Amino acid sequence: MEISRCMNLDPNILLGIVNDRLRHECHNLHGLAAMLDVEQQQLENRLAEIGFHYQEELNQFRPTTK
């Protein structure tokens, strides 16, 4: 599967892929978005659908705290 199609995946699966890439390949969300050839905000919005947001200090998507 082409990584550029990942935005069409179930957001729970996308979360796993994104956090894995952030952990092993990308130093920040901007770099990941560029690698995936998607808009950073689009990626953040997709994962916000399942209650996750990017935490820069951890370089990963974590559950949104209320």
* Structure tokens belonging to residue 18: 């994104």
- This prediction has a pTM of 0.87
Distance CA 4, CA 43 (A): 11
- Residue 25 has a CB neighbour count (10 Å cut-off) of 10
Q: What is the pLDDT of residues 11-65, one digit of tens each?
A: 999 999 999 999 999 999 999 999 888 899 999 999 999 999 999 999 999 998 8
What distances in angstroms separate CA 25 from CA 2, 18, 22, 32, 49, one per listed residue?
17, 10, 6, 8, 24
Q: What is the pLDDT of residues 48-63, one digit of tens each?
A: 999 999 999 999 999 9
φ, ψ for residue 10, nearest 5 deg: -55, 135
Q: List the chain domain ranges.
A: 3-63
Residue 3 is predicted with a pLDDT of 57
User: What is the CA angle 32-60-19, rounded to 5?
Assistant: 65
